[in-house]
Structure 1
Amino acid sequence: MATAAYDAARPIAWYASAIASYATYLRGYLWLILPVAISVYFVCMWEHKKKLGVARVAFEQDGPAYREFLDKQSD
Structure 2
Amino acid sequence: MLAAHCADIGRDPEAITLSAHLFLGPDRNYGQVIENAAALEAEGLDLGIVYIAPPHDPAVLQPLAEAIRDSGLCDRE
- Given the two structures, how large is their TM-score scaled by the length of structure 1? 0.22
Q: Which structure exhibits the higher relative contact order, with contacts defined as CA atoms closer than 8 Å and separated by 6 or more residues? A: 2
Report the structure number with the largest CA radius of gyration: 1
Structure with more helix by fraction: 1
Structure with more strand by fraction: 2
